[in-house]
A and B are shown apart, each in its own frame.
Chain A
């Protein structure tokens, strides 16, 4: 019987995806402040890769200093949104070097949560009007493992902290994938057109995201195919097992 296996990723894949995303988004999509955040994220991964991080350490973008988009009305096609909004993204992934390939791979060893917020750009305090989280569960979480939760960060109001459901299934695993989803929502036409080209490292971006989507969807498909009861409950309870080899090993 296979056991739960923490998600594993290659340092090089993450570093290159970060660099690619930075290049893709700079100027037109990310606020200028992102130019300082991306190199820090890359540096941190490099430190973990070179250091002795066999216990969990937090790879994060703090909520107090998030990755921001430029102000946009393009959440409606053609830029027809009612208000200018800004997207901000923060995350905390607890990671450590993998035991098997410590110089090449890291494991998600704890909390893995990406927070996405939409704010009104023209309000003096940039009022938050939407917030959701893209998360990977823990070994003992009720599922589904790869999920999105709405709000849940405050004690009152809709979706308060005390309400831990719903955990909506998601296709987005990494912070970079969650960011692309976010950009695709906030810049409906412009992002789609931008990433339809072959510019720069877009080829790499396509192939890396394609590979990870395929791995995830194949994994989900396997859960459904081998279930004996409700397919949804099978999906909900499914967790990555050692035999699944998500995501570092598969295809290598």
Chain B
């Protein structure tokens, strides 16, 4: 495998080169240039091309033209042009290139969205592979780009599209699904989430898998669970779960930690859901439905760090910005919502009734079956 490479396109390349210099230490090949200096070879050599959204200054050649079709006003327009070049010139065996838009002003892209909280939605809406917000540290941006470039480098050089079993194997390898007794269940979970495997023919099509993972899987509760979600499964607080992991539980759970492509892409550790359930099942000898008993056995391996969260049927809710919260609430105090773009294969989305009552955008997403319960709850509360 070659060293992953990133091309950053900005109207102030010297400044950006200095900022991202630290990426070199992550064994990433970094190239920075002005939009008017990009040449075709750079597009194909890079695993990730990052373009700044605002290109207002320092592009005199563009500004001096009269033909508006030759004047890309922002980075999104530049990406469209570069994507079309990449598509036209690409041979079957050319490695895929991901296009990422980077900005501190993502609200300008889709003004109706709470942009920073829904990067995956913006990326999907704008035909981008990812969107990078400048509202996080440069180190965090560099870390994400490194993860993305590495995931693209890790895609197979060719896809066995005419051999379904081998194709499955290639996707499993990319996701690093362990060969274990719970592997078949996890694979079934993956298939339920419709990976775009059957659209993959040429090498470049691997990018669809990257988009699927970043935009349709990681932001939602599917076959990979965040630590907050496994804490919720055990009816314990996130803080106590994190303490338990430090106190020895990570040893038990290490085989079911997700280490595949784009692991910790958003900074969150994830776990194979089927693997986690399998660990509990074996630990409890088939009594993992008994949460108290399960917690008791787990506590023997982490100095009793897990404490009962005191809830009967907790659910993780979306807040008013449509962000999934780490702190749960009782199911009876929440209603199901279906935000735009929430995949049907993901676990249901929930919102606290108290939040729904105050936030019209949340209220409009409440599913029909829960509206009556919501009205009753609001009437009783008022």
- Chain B residues whose C-beta falls within 8 Å of the C-beta of A201 in the assembled complex: 347-348
Residue B144 interfacial (CB < 8 Å)? no
Most chain B CB neighbours (cut-off 10 Å) among A16, A27, A197 = A197
Q: Say which one of B29-37, B79-87, B195-203, B273-281 lies at the interface with A.
A: B273-281
Is the CB–CB distance between B331 and A192 below 8 Å? no
- Chain A residues whose C-beta falls within 8 Å of the C-beta of B232 in the assembled complex: 198
B295-346: which have CB < 8 Å to A? Answer: 312-313, 315, 331-332
Give the bracket for the number of chain B residues in contact with chain A.
20 to 34
Residue A249 interfacial (CB < 8 Å)? no
Given A193-B277, A193-B286, A198 and B188 contact (CB-CB distance below 8 Å): no
Given A196-B288, A196-B289, A200-B347, A12 and B372 contact (CB-CB distance below 8 Å): yes
Is the CB–CB distance between B286 and A206 below 8 Å? no
Is the CB–CB distance between B369 and A203 below 8 Å? no
A1-34: which have CB < 8 Å to B? Answer: 12, 15-16, 27-28
- CB < 8 Å neighbour of A196 from B281, B347, B369: B281
Task: Flag A31-71 by CB within 8 Å of B: 1 or 0 each.
Answer: 00000000000000000000000000000000000000000
- CB < 8 Å neighbour of A198 from B192, B233, B332: B233
- Chain B residues whose C-beta falls within 8 Å of the C-beta of A204 in the assembled complex: 331
- Chain A residues whose C-beta falls within 8 Å of the C-beta of B273 in the assembled complex: 197, 199
Task: Flag B242-286 by CB within 8 Å of A: 1 or 0 each.
Answer: 000000000000000000000000000000010001101100001
Residue A207 interfacial (CB < 8 Å)? yes
- Chain A residues whose C-beta falls within 8 Å of the C-beta of B280 in the assembled complex: 196
Residue A180 interfacial (CB < 8 Å)? no
- Chain B residues whose C-beta falls within 8 Å of the C-beta of A196 in the assembled complex: 277, 280-281, 288-289
Given A28-B188, A198-B232, A203 and B286 contact (CB-CB distance below 8 Å): no
**CA A192 to CA B315, docked complex, whole Å:** 21
Is the CB–CB distance between B369 and A15 below 8 Å? yes
Residue A189 interfacial (CB < 8 Å)? yes
Is the CB–CB distance between A195 and B289 below 8 Å? yes
- Chain B residues whose C-beta falls within 8 Å of the C-beta of A12 in the assembled complex: 369, 372
Given A15-B369, A196-B277, A203-B315, A189 and B286 contact (CB-CB distance below 8 Å): yes
Of all chain B residues, the one with the shortest Cβ separation from A13 is B369
Given A12-B372, A206-B313, A197 and B233 contact (CB-CB distance below 8 Å): yes
- Chain A residues whose C-beta falls within 8 Å of the C-beta of B233 in the assembled complex: 197-198
- Chain A residues whose C-beta falls within 8 Å of the C-beta of B229 in the assembled complex: 198
- Chain A residues whose C-beta falls within 8 Å of the C-beta of B315 in the assembled complex: 203
- Chain A residues whose C-beta falls within 8 Å of the C-beta of B192 in the assembled complex: 27
- Chain A residues whose C-beta falls within 8 Å of the C-beta of B332 in the assembled complex: 207
**CA A77 to CA B369, docked complex, whole Å:** 38
- Chain B residues whose C-beta falls within 8 Å of the C-beta of A195 in the assembled complex: 289
- Chain A residues whose C-beta falls within 8 Å of the C-beta of B313 in the assembled complex: 203, 206-207
**CA A204 to CA B313, docked complex, whole Å:** 9
Of all chain A residues, the one with the shortest Cβ separation from B330 is A207
Given A197-B233, A200-B347, A192 and B369 contact (CB-CB distance below 8 Å): no
- CB < 8 Å neighbour of B277 from A197, A200, A203: A197
**CA A198 to CA B331, docked complex, whole Å:** 12
**CA A12 to CA B375, docked complex, whole Å:** 15
**CA A206 to CA B315, docked complex, whole Å:** 13
Is the CB–CB distance between A207 and B347 below 8 Å? no
- Expressed in whole angstroms, the minimum distance between the Cβ of B182 and any Cβ of chain A is 10
Is the CB–CB distance between B331 and A207 below 8 Å? yes
Is the CB–CB distance between A200 and B348 below 8 Å? yes
**CA A104 to CA B369, docked complex, whole Å:** 11
Of all chain A residues, the one with the shortest Cβ separation from B373 is A12
**CA A193 to CA B233, docked complex, whole Å:** 14
- Chain B residues whose C-beta falls within 8 Å of the C-beta of A198 in the assembled complex: 229, 232-233, 347
Given A193-B281, A198-B232, A16 and B288 contact (CB-CB distance below 8 Å): no
**CA A200 to CA B278, docked complex, whole Å:** 17
- Expressed in whole angstroms, the minimum distance between the Cβ of B215 and any Cβ of chain A is 21
**Closest 8 interchain pairs by CB?**
A196-B289, A196-B288, A198-B233, A197-B277, A193-B281, A207-B313, A200-B347, A203-B313
| A–B pairs, 27, beta carbons within 8 Å | A12-B372, A15-B369, A16-B369, A27-B188, A27-B192, A28-B188, A189-B286, A192-B286, A193-B288, A196-B277, A196-B280, A196-B281, A196-B288, A198-B232, A198-B233, A198-B347, A199-B347, A200-B347, A201-B347, A201-B348, A203-B313, A203-B315, A203-B331, A206-B313, A207-B312, A207-B313, A207-B332
15 new A-B pairs (CB below 8 Å) besides A198-B229, A198-B232? A27-B192, A104-B372, A193-B278, A195-B289, A196-B280, A196-B281, A196-B289, A198-B233, A199-B273, A199-B347, A200-B348, A201-B347, A204-B331, A206-B313, A207-B313
